[in-house]
Structure 1
Amino acid sequence: MEDAPRTKRRRTESTTDATAEAPPLVRSAEYWFDDGNIILQAESTQFRVAKSVLSMHSSVFRDMFLLPLPSDEAMVEGCAVVVLQGDTALDWIVLLGVIYPKRLVDKALHPTRTAAILRLSKKYDFPLFREDCLKRLKTKFPTTLDEFISNSWPFLPTESSGYFTVISLAREIGIYSILPVAYTVLLDDCMAKILDPKDTDLSASDRLACLLGYANLLELQGSTTLAWLNLGAKHLPSPTCRQSTKCVAAVKDIIVTRSNNHPPLLYILDDWDEAWESGMCQPCRKKAKEVYEAGRETCWDKLPAAFGLPDWEELKSLDLK
């Protein structure tokens, strides 16, 4: 980036500290177009872009540009400067990358970029960008079990920070219906980080919700998805089993294997594990799988409550539209 001249700044919000020393202004190396006719400033970075392009996407900017400029408005290279109070330069670099794309399609939008676009699209009303990001998030973290099973995974966090970003964004923007699945997937993939408060970027309330949910889901799975392992519940051996001694021994082996997992694993939304079928006859395998699949339905219905959240329908009604 090269240095940009200081200027009297037009603001979208009132300045609260007029005496603070402003850092040197810099021009964006990527989004400073010679034919641009408006300058956006986020933090100390300035972007020279086209009013027409912003107006095409955003009703807030469209309405702003209809207002006449003050007679004493300072200009930079003939362009007014709009200071975007409270926004980060990084968020605007992400959004301008969508407004001025270099590639035809971006299918694998990372959670951090999704958060930036959603944050700004809500504030400045970029409805199509907002709808697209919401669709991606709700496809990844759906509200029905059928959608979860057939998930097309529009993006997949590769580390815990991706889930932390999604959960924080859900609270910040108001996308509450994605929280139950986001919490559950985080518990499955990053339990060790949640257990260690020094190794998580989750807020205290979200970490508490995860820990509460973990305890509740461990208890819930014992009476639902993993109920077939409880030999006292009489699910197994199956009434048509012809090798009950072997099937009971196979179940006991699975119980011993599970007991060696620390911390204990969740089997709430996972697909049936065919490795569990080893040593069991066909009728027992069928019965165990039936109990497991029915248990997933029950667990799904109770998933929000496990984390102290309202039911699915209420969560959806609270979502940003």
Structure 2
Amino acid sequence: MFSLPQPDAGTESYDGCLLVKLYDDPLHMKLFLLSVFSSYEFLITKCTTHDYATILRVAVKYQADGLRKRIISILQCIYPDNLQAYDKVHRVGVQFATTNLLHRLPLDDLESHIAIINVAREADAEVLLPAAMMRLLQRDFETLVVAARTSGLDATLVLEALPGLSALAREHSFGMFYSTEMRISDQCFSDKACSRVRRLVVEHLERPGLAHVAGPFAVVGFSQGKLGYNSCQACRSTCQLWYENGRKAAWEELPACFKLPAWSVLRERAMQVDGESRAEQGASSGAAA
């Protein structure tokens, strides 16, 4: 009764060990195994964004939770969950400096963004989605429609976020220009000029060809002459303070634009043991039924 169970006669084995057939793509499995058994340096220096998406998918399938968390942590350098880091990546442009270990990864590659978006939900990595979606929305609509046809992207979900993003911009980031108050600042000493500036800025933000500029996280300057801010110093200071605080408030509400829960929930899901959130969702569904 204490003997080890033996495979049935005729069962395929190698050197006495039972062989288990895997039906994954060999290249995908190779990436997965290299990620599991190689050093952390392999993940940082050898993988592409598409590789990360592949590893995430396989890691979820085989419940390699530690690996899934490491991949999410790496990808958060590109798709961060806080506004300060998001702005930093935006300022970098298309690629990190060569001193950064992730300098090989493109920061403005459409296919890379789509690969992460397509895998994020099944890997409990939705914490990456808001920043990735915002990256997509910097492209024109025609590009997104074509991408949806060729890559499996749910462009509807991305485009449906536009009204919500516009509302965040109007209410928070640029709310001072849409205010019904007669003056931007109580200390304004040039009512006529500052009112004209307000109208010019609103016209600029509403131009269809500059839809991405009107987003709630558009980076603008408030020095004299920037984006028509040729208003008095008091109004410029008020606008800048409102803008900075408004962007922070808009960031906290960003996930809802993409039909996602709050940032705190997304962060918790990303760090949960694989399958926990799905089990909780299943329990919630059962209770609701």
> Structure 2 vs 1, CA of residues 235 and 198 (structure 1 numbering), >3 Å: closer, same or farther?
same
TM-score using structure 1 length:
0.64
Structure 1 pair 244/310, CA: closer, same or farther in 2 (3 Å)? same
Question: Measured at CA, do residues 93 and 260 of structure 1 come closer, stay the same or move farther in structure 2, by a change above 3 Å?
Answer: same
Please state if 1:169 is matched with 2:119: yes
Deviations 1:89-121 (A, max 9, x none): 2312433554458x7673484321101122222
| Cα distance, 1:242 vs structure 2 | 3.2
- 2:170 maps to which of 222, 235, 241: 222
CA distance in 1, matches of 2:62, 2:189: 68
Structure 2 counterpart of 1:288: 239
Distance 1:303 1:231 in 2: 22
Higher strand share: 1
> 1:183 corresponds to which residue?
133
| CA gap 1:227/1:165 in 2 versus in 1, 3 angstroms | same
2:81 to 143, 147, 166: 143
Q: Write the mapping of 1:1-321 to structure 2, written as runs, cut at 5 A.
A: 72-74=10-12, 82-85=20-23, 87-98=24-35, 99=37, 106-107=44-45, 109-149=47-87, 154=102, 155-189=105-139, 191-195=141-145, 199=149, 201-203=151-153, 206-230=154-178, 232-234=180-182, 236=184, 238-262=185-209, 264-265=211-212, 266-274=214-222, 275-276=226-227, 278-319=229-270, 320-321=272-273
* Percent pairwise identity: 21
Return 70-79 or 285-294, whichever deviates more: 70-79
Question: What CA deviation, in whole Å up to 9, does each residue of 1:220-250 have, x standing for no partner?
Answer: 31121111222634452x3333334333333
Query: CA–CA distance in 1 between the matches of 2:194 and 2:141?
Result: 32
User: CA 1:68–1:270 in 2, change beyond 3 Å: closer, same or farther?
Assistant: farther
Distance 1:165 1:97 in 2: 20
Q: Partners in 1 of 2:189 and 2:137 — Cα distance? A: 39
Aligned residue pairs: how many?
Answer: 252
User: Considering only aligned residues, what root-mean-square deviation do their CA atoms show, in Å?
Assistant: 3.5
Describe the SS at the equivalent of 1:293: helix
Q: What amino acid is aligned across from residue 168 of structure 1 in structure 2? A: N
The structure where helix makes up a greater share of residues is 2
Q: Secondary structure at the match of 1:174?
A: coil
CA contact (8 A) 2:200 2:228 kept: no
Shift of 1:162: 1.2
One-letter amino acid matched to 2:203: V
Task: Give the Cα–Cα distance (whole angstroms) in 2 for the partners of residues 198 and 150 of structure 1.
Answer: 28
Structure with greater Cα Rg = 1
Give 1:299 shift: 1.2
Return 5+ residue gaps in structure 1 as ranges. Answer: 1-65
Higher relative contact order (CA 8 A, sep 6+): 2
